[in-house]
Amino acid sequence: MQASNEETDARLPLLEIRDLHVELTAPRRRLPVLEGVRLEVRPGETVGIVGESGCGKSVLSLSLLGLLPPAMRIREGEIRYASETLPHADEESFRRIRGKEIAMIFQDPMSALNPALTIGDQATEMARLHLGLTRREAREHAAALFRKVGLPRPEALLRDYPHRLSGGMLQRVMIAIALSCGPKLLIADEPTTALDVTIQAQILDLLRKIREEEGTAILLVSHDLGVIADMCDRIAVMYAGQIVEEGTVADLFDSPKHPYTIALLNAIPTPAKKHEKLFAIPGTVPALNERGTGCRFHSRCPHADERCLLQAPPVVTVRGVHSARCWLAAEEGGLSNAVG
Amino acid sequence: MPSVEPLVQFDNLQKIYPVSGFGRKKASLRAVDGLTLSIHEGETLGLVGESGCGKSTTGQLAARLLDPTGGIIRYRGADLAQFRGKSAKAMRRKIQYVFQDPYASLNPRHAVAELLEEPLRIHRIGDKRERKRRVDEMLERIGLEASYGKRYVHELSGGQRQRIGIARALMLKPEFLILDEPVSALDVSVQSQILNLLKELQSDFGLTYLFISHDLNVVHYMSDRIAVMYLGKVVEVAGVDDIYAKPLHPYTQALVSAIPTEHRREKRERILLKGDIPSASDVPAGCSFHTRCPLAHDRCRRAEPDLLPAGSGNRSVRCHLYA
């Protein structure tokens, strides 16, 4: 990996996901989980992935680190990190990158840390593995990182076990661990979902600080549109295994194009909607084996016609980085990208 | 609020658990600690606060799922604790509870129709045919076809399950519903369906809600008034618009400023609190919020403030700044 090169061109994407297909191998059949995901993250950029349960956002983040569960595999597509392709099945190449170049923060710090090992054991593991530090050096390194993420009495903490810490403190420990090898990209999968509002505000503030001080790019996965809007430069909306709309915060919140994005925004209770009925999306997300060939959203879409049922819509560029996977947007005169 | 008698009144309510530790000192966990609050007929009172602040305990005390260790709960003026045996059972028909996780609170071995019929059977209401009629009627009212009566909980989606949880609470035609995080386990699109349903049911049946949630946007949408809890006490009560537009208590101010919002262009100043909420078994002396309060001064460490009327309108706040 040449990624430690300080001169990485800001315009070159750090992470490129090209036409990624992930499938679930069930007995005697294969079910598509991700279908043609395409996304780029540039150095220092914060990109949000938003979607409801089962849309594939967590599978996407796991696939980037080669951490897919055994029943899932990448069928097609390419993941490139710093212009280098990561071979899907090559555990060795993922191991070199995981933790060092790309680090992950999980939703539930309580279950992501081993309760039988001290925090010190777990916080020093990556630095010893990737940076070749000795035990003592790694402990000093970890203590310095603990201080940086605002943890009190770092030396004592290293000797403590995870159950002694609150959720907010543990998430800080997780962030410190993720930062231990100075990664260029941080994947945060619902990092504040298990936390209270005031603690969530602290953790989001810490992520902002890290982004500013270290220039770390962040891929933030969340179901919470508020958190995503607050943190991100660019947002991708996922539905049933596909990115259905992508754009800047202003693109998506001021002029959403995909009916699903519009429906989501209308469904969130906000003070302005206090005395109105909230928009309810009829029906449910199609099951993995019921996605059909057309638009994945057609059965719940108020504008769907026969074409939406039969033909997969193209990804249409609306303006700049704003694109939508919808026949409606195509008719409005956007430029169609040549992808299915 | 006009000076009509409130439907429910908590008066200096306490729920304190003894904690047996290893040390010699007997500790106690003060889950609810001197809570005073009233809920008026037909309104929705939102109860907000962070994990461990005692909001669910308060809900369970109101439903008599727990017995208080001190204080009084009055329902239409009558002390709830006075009801025993038959009269307690009759009271239970009026006060019902909707749990956060319908998957955990509904028996997986009973079909939906049995789940809905059970409360009627327990209270010996109607004969078999009458009960079936009421079950079908309720299913229709909550937007499920009658055929769902034959299904089991695991065959339902999260939103459908919560509809059943709500339907079950409504079978006995209650007056007062305690909703404990009813939409926290649901996705946005399903959440909006349930919130709409709850509002409809409230106006159809004239229900009074105690709506417990940590999601401040949801609480704002649902509530007429909001009570903010911190470490077992109410720190501020006010009308929903007052709380959001002009929070008085420093804790409320921090909470409101921390709501993640998509309207980030109207950027508010974020108030970041230091540290975590202290443990309910080790409550700080003086004002229990002083350890995290950006405005704390000497007096806050020594003397505990009372919940006193403040500002215009009918609002109260527990803070020395306004005393």
Mean pLDDT of A33-48: 95
- A228 in helix, strand or coil? helix
Domain-embedded: residue A308: yes
Name which of B257, B229, B216, B182 is nearest B52 in CA terms.
Answer: B229
Q: Measured between CB atoms, which of A169, A197, A268 is closest to B216?
A: A197
Taking residue B184's Cβ as centre, other Cβ atoms within 10 Å add up to 14
Q: What is the mean pLDDT of residues B246-260?
A: 92
> Does A54 score more than 70 pLDDT?
yes
Question: Range with the lowest mean pLDDT among A9-13, A128-132, A272-276, B162-166?
Answer: A9-13
Q: What is the mean pLDDT of residues B291-320?
A: 92
pLDDT tens per residue, range A155-214: 999 999 999 888 889 999 999 999 999 999 999 999 998 888 888 999 999 999 999 999
pLDDT at site A1: 40
The torsion angles phi and psi of B237, rounded to 5 degrees, stand at: -130, 135
Q: Is B193 on the interface with A (CB under 8 A)?
A: yes
Q: Report yes or no on A214 lying in a domain.
A: yes
Q: Does B202 touch chain A (CB under 8 A)?
A: no
Residue B34's CB: how many other CB atoms inside 10 A?
18
User: Hey, what long-range contacts does A260-266 have (CB within 8 A, 24 or more apart)?
Assistant: A260/A297, A260/A300, A260/A301, A261/A237, A261/A324, A263/A300, A263/B189, A264/A50, A264/A225, A264/A237, A264/B188, A264/B189, A265/A225, A265/B262
Cβ A271–B244 below 8 Å, yes or no? yes
Mean pLDDT over the full length of chain B = 91
Give the residue numbers spanning the domain of A89: 2-239
Q: Which of residues 204-223 of B touch A (CB under 8 A)?
A: 214, 216-218, 220-222
pLDDT exceeds cutoff 80 at A129: yes
Cβ atoms within 10 Å, residue B261:
20
pLDDT category of residue A152 using cuts at 50, 70 and 90: confident
Across B97-120, average pLDDT:
93
Mean pLDDT of the residues in chain A: 89
Q: Does B138 touch chain A (CB under 8 A)?
A: no
**Listed residue (A35, A39, A36, A42) closest to A50, CA to CA:** A39
User: Do A189 and A307 fall into the same domain?
Assistant: no
A248 domain residue, yes or no: no
B25 touches chain A (CB under 8 A): no
CB count in 10 Å sphere of residue B64 = 18
A227 plus A270 within the same structural domain: no
Kindly list the residues from chain A whose CB atom is less than 8 angstroms away from the CB atom of residue B261. Answer: 226, 229-230, 270
Q: Has residue B268 got a pLDDT over 60?
A: yes
- Our CA dihedral for A53, A57, A61, A67, rounded to 10 degrees, sits at 50
Q: Is A199 on the interface with B (CB under 8 A)?
A: yes
**How long a stretch of residues is chain B?**
323
CB atoms within 10 A of CB A7: 5
| Whole-number pLDDT of residue A315 | 94
Cβ of B221 within 8 Å of Cβ of A168? The answer is no
pLDDT at A337 over 50: no
Residues A142 and A29 in one domain: yes
Same domain, A67 and A210: yes
- How far does B219 lie from chain A, in Å, by closest CA? 9
**CB distance from A196 to chain B under 8 Å?**
yes
Beta strands in chain B (DSSP E): 8-19, 27-39, 44-48, 70-75, 78-79, 95-98, 176-180, 208-212, 225-230, 233-239, 308-309, 316-317
Instruction: Give me the sign of the Cα torsion angle A118, A124, A125, A126.
Output: positive
The pLDDT assigned to A96 comes to 86
Smallest CA-to-CA distance from A243 within A339, A131, A119 is with A339
On chain A, the residues whose CB falls within 8 A of the CB of B270 are 201, 205
Query: Is A17 domain-assigned?
Result: yes
The CATH code of the domain that includes A192 is: 3.40.50.300
Residue A326, burial from CB neighbour count under 10 angstroms (0-12, 13-18, 19+): buried
Looking at the complex, report in whole angstroms how far the Cα of residue A263 sits from the nearest Cα belonging to chain B: 8
Give the H/E segment covering residue A210: helix A197-214
pLDDT digits (tens, 9 = 90+) for A203-262: 999 999 999 999 999 999 999 998 999 999 999 999 999 999 999 999 999 999 999 999
The region of weakest confidence among A32-46, A273-287, B53-67 is A273-287
**A26, part of any domain:** yes
Residue A247 lies in a domain: no
* A174 and A313 inside one domain: no
Structurally, how many domains does chain A consist of?
A: 2
- pLDDT band per the 50, 70, 90 thresholds, residue B1: very low
pLDDT band at A3, cuts 50/70/90? very low
A89 and A220 in a single domain? The answer is yes
Contact A145, A179 (CB under 8 A): yes
A315 domain residue, yes or no: yes
